A and B are shown apart, each in its own frame.
Chain A
């Protein structure tokens, strides 16, 4: 048994949107979620990074849609997502393609690092982990995800130029 230091082991009760990609359970804090919609027709954007599905018209706003499964390295099940989570962080609004949304739940979220390290799960884009009826829910870190997306865009731009 590893003795976890109290400082790095913080448990917090948070409200999250619980969704599935493939068979994996993910969560996103409700503060970051604007709404959940059924897929809209997506327009491909040429020269955009590969994990950008394209853009959609959400009531007059043009919003990019990210293939979350690609970015997280998961395989989407039955190859058909059926929900898009419209999420926002600071001044960026994006659509996240997911397989299905299970609902909004309250969870005790443990800060990710120690546990995930212990479980040897890649901690990229994850900010915490919670347990719901014997299921582990990985909490998505939208900030780091979007930062990374921006970064990747820059890289691809350079490789084009």
Chain B
């Protein structure tokens, strides 16, 4: 069978399962007794095995199979959840991840990392010596309703059976066979529970065996013969169960069970949610976004045309279309939104590994993972966050003894939070570590030549803090493999700025550091001010504009050969766009000129332009592979009249 067309689905789904496994393994490490988490892990591993086998990935199937063996032992309580086991399983996940990557990149899976299989074997073997056949009935959990039925039936002298059914290999209509089994059993008595649930049986979501709990008057042999009469069906085992035992264990487990039930419910509801969603190729969404972009351009064009004719009917129709376009645009934007969970999910694992590595105790808190961001932003935001978290773990949070000496709790707190504020999303990375020593930065910056000594004295704390964003600056004198090589903060900053976002640091020595990232919800369509320089039109993103004002020649002063402008008694450096952009047909100096005041963080400067055309919604289009990366230009957009205008990258002007 040719399975290549399923590759994309396979990769996407297995990735999902791996993420799921990762998350749940960490959860299990924290609550080793949580059965529902273990079940979820088991389910994911099992599905992964099935998928790998279907795709013909034998090594992957083998590894997942071995993992499953260990998980079964965990599930049956034969081995306890220990850190080594979690570590080993996590390493297996890494390996599986590599396999999938290898499969995608090279079309074949790389071999299993040495020792993994052996380690898994060792785990499962050393424990298989112990009693293999434990009484299994005690493992099965009944809910309250099932228990009450069991109890009632016992009082009326009914017997309860635990029946394991096996279907023959290669049974075609498994659901039909299961149905026949049910029909047959219903003649004897009442089925109170089956594993897996009936729904899964109907959808053939099971291997070749399933288990049933039956209440009946008849003897086991009778039931067994009746079942064995159904073709392709075999009774693997039939046992009478001791209800008292399950009953007695029930109250003890009652408390924790309530919690479990909740988890299970949420699992079930998330499963049913899946049915309401459709997987869509991201390229199609991009196409859709592009088309909506075109529509917006055309709408603007119609508005322009209509303004010349003054026909109220036409204007009404266009107004209506404008509303529809806006609705459509926000809808498409919503469709492209992805919860930031997709990025956050991989961090608990990373934080765990790094903090183990550094031998620091860290409690990692994630908030607002349901906050949604545009897909393109999601793809880009992971890397800077990794840097920030690493920084917090390495430079921020102190080792336990140092924390104790400072009178803090030995466990450090690392908080990653996201929330939406208007049209922006705020992401905060906060630690309660040692904070940033601003004086130390000042000293380092002077000794490394980033600023001269006199400047160092004059700069206020905020400005000094900004130095850590400079390329090549690191306060950590020791370089390790986690951070401190002086790349990092400048990478974070440029990445955030390329996403039209802003970055801010709040820190207090000894108390901790908070990095605040402010990101726009989407990148594709923005509000911009159109300006004219000579004959050329340029767009300036509105979010970086403070105000516009008329340029009054008397208020221009010269400071060290640079023009500055006095705006309400504040000095504003001026940049003449005609000179900066080398506009060939520059203004002949007889018209009035305007100043567009733009900002980046706390810095401000004035751009001198010839004409303010107006505010407009523009669709950002990339300049293409050939021209991308030109400094000063953020992209281009198509105006209502079909002309192209370039978008100024304000950030790069500072």
Contact = CB atoms under 8 A, between A and B. Distances in A.
B625 interface: yes
Contacts of A46: 580-583, 632-633, 646
A101 interface: no
Interface centre among B580, B626, B645 (most CB of A within 10 A): B626
Contacts, number: 79
Nearest to A56: B644
B631 A47 contact: yes
Given A46-B581, A47-B633, A41 B643 contact: yes
A20 interface: no
A62 B632 contact: no
Interface in A57-83: 57, 60-64
Contact of A153 (B580, B582, B627): B627
Contacts of B196: none
A55 B642 CA distance: 12
Interface string A131-161: 0000000000000001001100100010011
Interface string B614-644: 0000000111111101111100101000111
Contacts of A23: none
Interface centre among A54, A62, A92 (most CB of B within 10 A): A62
Given A43-B536, A55-B636, A62-B636, A92 B631 contact: no
B144 interface: no
Contact of A45 (B294, B584, B627, B629): B627
A7 interface: no
A92 B624 contact: yes
Contacts of A14: none
A17 interface: no
A55 B582 contact: no
A48 B631 contact: no
A161 B631 CA distance: 9
B622 to A, nearest CB: 8
A31 B584 CA distance: 37
Contacts of A92: 624-626
A5 interface: no
B512 to A, nearest CB: 36
A interface, how many residues as a size bin?
20 to 34
B627 A57 contact: no
A43 B646 contact: yes
Contacts of B623: 45, 55, 62, 64
B646 A45 contact: yes
Given A43-B536, A43-B645, A57-B642, A64 B630 contact: no
Nearest to A44: B536
B627 A52 contact: yes
Contacts of A149: 626
Contacts of A61: 621
A91 B548 CA distance: 40
Nearest to B636: A62
B579 to A, nearest CB: 11
Contacts of A60: 290, 294, 297, 638
Given A57-B644, A62-B621, A62-B644, A45 B626 contact: no
Contact of A55 (B297, B627, B631): B627
Nearest to A161: B631
Interface string A33-46: 00000000101111
Contact of B624 (A44, A64, A157): A64
A63 B38 CA distance: 54
Given A57-B644, A94-B626, 6 more contacts: A43-B536, A44-B584, A45-B623, A52-B627, A61-B621, A146-B626
List 8 tightest A-B contacts by C-beta distance, closest first: A43-B644, A46-B581, A62-B621, A57-B644, A92-B625, A62-B636, A47-B630, A64-B627
22 contacts: A41-B643, A43-B645, A44-B536, A45-B627, A45-B633, A45-B636, A45-B646, A46-B582, A47-B632, A47-B633, A48-B627, A60-B294, A62-B623, A62-B624, A62-B638, A62-B644, A64-B623, A64-B626, A92-B626, A94-B624, A153-B630, A160-B631
